Amino acid sequence: MIEARELTKVYKSKKRTVIGVEDVSFRVEKGEIFGIVGYSGAGKSSLLRCINLLERPTSGTIKVDGIDLTKLNSSKLREARLKIGMIFQHFYLINQKTVYGNIAFALKAAGVEQSAVPTRVDELLKRVGLSDKRDAYPAQLSGGQKQRVGIARALANNPRVLLCDEATSALDPTTTKSILKLLQSLNKELGLTIVLITHEMNVVKEVCHKMAIMQDGKIVEQGKVYDLFAEPKEELTKEFIDNVVSFNVPERTLAQFSGTIAKVVFKGEIAGEGIISDMLQQFSLNGNFLHGAIEYIDGKPLGIFILELKGEAGAVKQAMAYIQKRSAEVEVIRDGHSPLN
């Protein structure tokens, strides 16, 4: 659906050259929600704007629905862009127009016949749950309601792709959830492909199927959200994940335990706690849970436990191997103080 290959965007002015995006490649399949995460200045917005050519890439290609947008003339590009909707953190509504007027404006700009506009606006308002605000002005709306207008406007031309630039960053957590729910329902019911950029990992955890993590214009790691949560490879990925599912036990607490401290991660349907108790029994170990949580990511459970294991050193090693064999990841955070503690 979307295929970026070796995209680079360099901003050049008389004084200096800034690299916005550097050698970025990724694919988003039809009907996927793809999250792009990174700190401020990482290049997220630059990359997003390269997808609909609001920003022309310095090099590389961007294909949407099989068409290389970088090769189109301006009228063909305008046509292709109608199939790519976009929403923003600051909504950009026209303050002098009502909700109806804002959406009607987008429809008219796309060449929809005047007579078809009222019905279509009403359809869109129903779709975003805002029928009762048809005649309100933006100043009379909450942030969440404004974003709903933004979404209705972005859907005006029946786009196949929706690009979201920090669409929930100006909203409180509850409103964020309701907007994410709306995006999810558009994704499921309309088969809309969504690319969503955010600096909040919670947003990604909530709705994205795949994600990419950006730093200094580059993608440092990408893959399925579940896989990256279960086994992040890069430090930056770990840092972002730590913000939402922190499994760190404070040093002061750790100091109170003398045994081996291990982090065990169970993926999918495995009942983690059962395996742990089997393991303790089989290898005659004593165990203490220091931390435990089951997170649901992309609808699938991911169990994470931090344990203290006490027993004969060889048995602790064997127990780790046993857990690994039963398809869980084990990471030793700290070896026991002595082999026989």
Ligand X SMILES: Nc1ncnc2c1ncn2[C@@H]1O[C@H](COP(=O)(O)OP(=O)(O)OP(=O)(O)O)[C@@H](O)[C@H]1O
The residue within the footprint of ligand X, chosen from 2, 26, 28, 45 (CB under 6 A), is 45
Q: Which is nearer to Mg ion, 45 or 168 (CB)?
A: 45
The interface with Mg ion within residues 19-78 (CB under 5 A) comprises 45
Stretch that binds ligand X, among 24-32, 42-50, 121-129, 244-252 (CB under 6 A): 42-50
Q: Which of residues 15-34 bind ligand X (CB under 6 A)?
A: 18, 20
Which option in Mg ion, ligand X, none does residue 303 bind, with CB closer than 5 to 8 A by kind? none
Q: Give min distance, CB of 203 to ligand X, in A.
A: 13
Q: Please give the helix or strand (H or E) that residue 208 lies within, else none.
A: none
Q: What are phi and psi of 57, to 5 degrees?
A: -60, 145
Candidates 7, 37, 43, 152: give the one binding ligand X (CB under 6 A). Answer: 43
DSSP letter at 2 equals E
Among 2, 22, 38, 219, binds ligand X (CB under 6 A): 38
Shortest distance in whole angstroms from residue 219 CB to ligand X: 12
**Cβ nearer to ligand X, comparing 38 with 259:** 38
At 328, list the tokens: 């869980």
Q: Which of 306, 313, 315 is nearest to 284 (CA)?
A: 315
CA 171/CA 53 separation, integer angstroms? 27
Residue 120-149 contact track with ligand X, rule CB under 6 A, x = bound: ------------------------------
Distance separating alpha carbons of residues 38 and 332, to the nearest angstrom: 29
Least distance in Å: CB of 55 to ligand X? 8
- CB nearer to Mg ion: pick between 194 and 320: 194
CB of 230 to ligand X, least distance (A): 26
Q: Compute CA distances 87 → 11, 101, 217, whole Å.
A: 23, 17, 22
Distance CA 35, CA 18 (A): 24
Q: Is 42 in the site for ligand X (CB under 6 A)?
A: yes
Q: Does the footprint of ligand X cover residue 46 (CB under 6 A)?
A: yes
- Minimum CB–partner distance for residue 245 and ligand X (Å): 22
DSSP 19-84: EEEEEEEEEE-TT-EEEEE--TTSSHHHHHHHHTTSS--SEEEEEETTEEGGG--HHHHHHHHTTE
Strands 33-37 and 210-215: what pairing?
Answer: parallel
- Partners of residue 292 on adjacent β-strands: 305
User: 161 with 125: CB under 8 angstroms?
Assistant: no
Nearer to ligand X, 16 or 325 (CB): 16
Task: Classify residue 202 by its DSSP letter.
Answer: H
40 near ligand X, judged by CB under 6 A? yes
**Interface mask (CB under 6 A) for ligand X, residues 194-213, using x and -?**
-----x--------------
Q: Tell me if residue 300 falls in helix, strand or coil.
A: strand
Q: What is the SS3 assignment for 99?
A: helix
* Nearest residue (CB) to ligand X, 216 versus 331: 216
Q: Which does 101 bind (CB under 5 to 8 A by kind): Mg ion, ligand X, none?
A: none
The C-alpha atoms of residue 196 and residue 179 are separated, in whole angstroms, by 12
Site residues, Mg ion (CB under 5 A):
45
Site residues, ligand X (CB under 6 A):
11, 18, 20, 38, 40-46, 199
